[in-house]
Structure 1
Amino acid sequence: MEPTNSDYNYDYEEMENYTTCDFSDWPLTASFIPVIFILIFILGLTGNIVVLFTVWRVRAKWRAPTIYIGNLALADLAYIIMMPVQVAVFIMHRQWRFGVVMCKMVNFMFFFSVFTSAFLLTCMTFDRYLAIVHSLSSTHLRTRGHVRASLAAAWTLSGLLSVPSLVFFSTWQHLGSNQTFCTLDFSLVATSRQQWGLWHAGFSLTLSALGFLLPFLVMMVCYGLIGYIMMRHFNIRHKEDQRKWRLLRIITIVVVVFTACCMPYHVYVVTAALYELDLLLVVCSFERFVLLTFPYAFTLASANSCLNPFLYAFLDLRFRSQCLGLLHLKRFRQTSTKSSMPAGLNQR
């Protein structure tokens, strides 16, 4: 998945000689990134499995947020199970030794996770918006049928948007060093560098627009309206309203963490797209910095799959109590749902 200056599928020797920039990795990358991926894998695997089991145990007590949390955990888990391959690739200095099929599948699962997580978070956000801002008039919009329809749309659209990764990712062997890489290959549709740049830019911009920008804008608008209503109609001195302010704090954490994890990766993607379209002129030092920091941006985006269970499950006190109960930590069980649940998260 590593975009490099050798991603072009034509006249590679010419491309390799176009610059004297040094693109060799920082020594820290090969040792630091795999360690972080291993931590993400362990925490993400255990956290998402606990969430899935918890959702399954309380499936009879239908709550829209719980259903979305379970689907989000499933989407994250689908990518996390592929993470050991990423660890091996970084240890081998990004060389690919797992074949063409695995190259396509690993990238497909990454993009599928990106789109599914973004769409599910958007559905969760809109559900919270309806539950808090239009709590009385939105009952008919928050039925099981509507929730199932939104889930089906999120999964289906994510799968369709991820199909290009199955088509355009392939292995490429560097003739000079005899090393194999898993990278984008637009040779099926592009016959020149200009066409390759257009396809790469379109691929990248579609990913960032649909996988981050649009969902982020929807979440910001919804959370902004929630915050506006809370500040206008609630009194911080009242105990009931204090719980609603705690909900706003949780929402702020969710938005900040989602942005912090995903934005650096998408900034890289958009920067690469603008460069391919000749809309951005960069010097050697800047290009080197962007390429060398990409593994860290990619790792941070992957970390969102690890953090999601903690942000969208364990910050919900009722759900946290259920998870702890699954782990037989009975002393943490919730004794009074109404007194400990932030208002809004406890609404169906």
Structure 2
Amino acid sequence: MSLPAAFTTPPFIPEVFTLDSTTSESYTSDLSLSDLITDLNNSSHLGLSMLPRCTYIEDFKQILLPAVYSFVFVLGLPLNAAVIQKIWRKRPNLSRNNIYTLNLAIADLLYVMSLPLLIYNYGSRDYWPFGEFACKLVRFQFYSNLHGSILFLTCISVQRYVGICHPLALWHKRGGRKLAWRVCGGVWLIVTLLCAPTFHFAATGIQRNRTVCYDLSTPKHSVNYYPYGMALTFLGFMLPFLGIMLCYCRMAVFLCRPGAYQGVSMASSEKRDKAVRMIIVVATVFCISFFPFHLTKTMYLLVRTFPDVPCKTRNLFSIIYKSTRPFASMNSFLDPILFYFTQPRYRKSTRRFMLKVTTLREKGTSV
């Protein structure tokens, strides 16, 4: 059975990525003289004919991105679905921490469900047959999940900090679950506003008779994307990250203080271990997913705005940034692990389930 024409991948041509030093991005192949003349004519219409051009080879994307996205999809879909099911079954007696975790899992699940489109796209060597709106929506889902996860992890960290360092205070208990739901609504609103410009910058384009879906921006908007990209990194990553580090430093000082738990009824050794586990897991998520991506993205945005930067240097930063981009999606299955390690009753139920399975297997082999 043959595929519809819209989903038939065009014949493969060895692909090279060309990036104008300031504004132009395009996919090109083995260039003939006529192709170069055509490209120069097109550039002159955009007012770019005097800018130097640089060629990037990106064959690594065809292997790295589909492999990582497939791995994230296979793990992230069932893990986040399981977290949502376990928390939702506890309603209406959800704790504030569980409310934040539920919204975190929903954000991750929405992103994971969009990964099959990206797997097909990169597996087909950047061919995008799904249309303009799907391109914008997939890019929006990536960045909204990324920054939504950061903000919900911030909410969880602040909640844990207050519970550990101010367990007897009453001011943070006012509002209860209703306040937590309002905070989650505010987070979704902030994420939507922060990532809404993605619908403007991300778009499809035609390069060498192949439809592509631009990630950061189209070529003509790349200069305008720079201030937005930097603002998104600062507001959506740096500020929450600093807030989380401040909470964790205060928690670490409190937990290491001699006799910190004496006279405090709710602060048991189990609660202390739970807080330590959360600090370790959240720090791991940031080290693997968030920090490398935002660092390399910032460096890449800076480098590509300077026309005097050597082509090899721009090529290097492009490869580094695009190599860390798929790992930013790994938080979609690392977040459920955070939930698992910070919820003792779910670890105990999992151990009981595994013990039951092991017992049944042993009985089956002994028969």
TM-score range, shorter chain: 0.7 to 0.9
Inter-CA distance 234–285: structure 2 relative to 1 (3 Å threshold): farther
Inter-CA distance 62–288: structure 2 relative to 1 (3 Å threshold): same
What letter corresponds to residue 284 of structure 2 in structure 1? V
Provide the residue aligned with 1:5 in structure 2: 19
The residue matched to 1:98 in structure 2 has which SS? coil
5+ residue gaps, structure 1: 191-195, 333-348
Structure 1 segment 108-187 matched on structure 2, within 5 A:
108-138=140-170, 139-141=172-174, 143-174=176-207, 177-183=208-214, 184-185=217-218
Higher RCO (C-alpha 8 Å, min separation 6): 1
Provide the residue aligned with 1:262 in structure 2: 290
Report how far residue 212 of structure 1 moved.
1.4
The residue matched to 2:129 in structure 1 has which SS? coil
The residue matched to 2:93 in structure 1 has which SS? coil
Q: Over alpha carbons, which structure has the higher Rg?
A: 2
The residue matched to 2:91 in structure 1 has which SS? coil
Inter-CA distance 39–207: structure 2 relative to 1 (3 Å threshold): same
In 1, Cα distance between the equivalents of 2:319 and 2:125? 12
1:84 corresponds, among 91, 116, 119, to: 116
In 2, Cα distance between the equivalents of 1:282 and 1:61? 57
1:218 corresponds, among 243, 247, 253, to: 243
In 1, Cα distance between the equivalents of 2:288 and 2:308? 26
Structure 1 segment 281-300 matched on structure 2, within 5 A:
282-300=309-327
2:276 corresponds, among 229, 233, 248, to: 248
Equivalent residues of 2:76, 2:109 under 8 A apart = yes
Inter-CA distance 221–142: structure 2 relative to 1 (3 Å threshold): farther
The residue matched to 1:252 in structure 2 has which SS? helix
TM-score (norm 1): 0.80
In 1, Cα distance between the equivalents of 2:195 and 2:160? 27
2:341 aligned with 1:303, yes or no?
no
In 2, Cα distance between the equivalents of 1:16 and 1:319? 62
In 2, Cα distance between the equivalents of 1:23 and 1:269? 16
What letter corresponds to residue 159 of structure 1 in structure 2? T
| Percent identical residues | 26
Report how far residue 114 of structure 1 moved.
1.5
What letter corresponds to residue 155 of structure 1 in structure 2? W
For residues 88-118 of structure 1, the C-alpha deviation after alignment (integer angstroms, 9 at most, x for no partner) is: 1111222322110111110111111122111
Inter-CA distance 223–173: structure 2 relative to 1 (3 Å threshold): same
Report how far residue 258 of structure 1 moved.
1.7
Provide the residue aligned with 1:54 in structure 2: 86
In 2, Cα distance between the equivalents of 1:265 and 1:246? 28
Inter-CA distance 52–281: structure 2 relative to 1 (3 Å threshold): farther
Provide the residue aligned with 2:234 in structure 1: 209
Report how far residue 63 of structure 1 moved.
1.2
What letter corresponds to residue 5 of structure 1 in structure 2? L
Structure 1 residue ranges, 4+ long, deviating more than 6 angstroms after superposition: none
Report how far residue 16 of structure 1 moved.
9.1
TM-score (norm 2): 0.76
For residues 15-49 of structure 1, the C-alpha deviation after alignment (integer angstroms, 9 at most, x for no partner) is: 699556441124x4312331221111010000000
Inter-CA distance 103–4: structure 2 relative to 1 (3 Å threshold): farther
5+ residue gaps, structure 2: 1-16, 27-40, 262-266, 358-367
Inter-CA distance 208–260: structure 2 relative to 1 (3 Å threshold): same
In 1, Cα distance between the equivalents of 2:274 and 2:100? 21
RMSD across aligned positions (CA): 3.0
In 2, Cα distance between the equivalents of 1:25 and 1:309? 32
In 2, Cα distance between the equivalents of 1:16 and 1:296? 30
The residue matched to 1:5 in structure 2 has which SS? strand
For residues 208-259 of structure 1, the C-alpha deviation after alignment (integer angstroms, 9 at most, x for no partner) is: 11221111111000011011111114479xx954762563243123213223
In 2, Cα distance between the equivalents of 1:241 and 1:324? 21
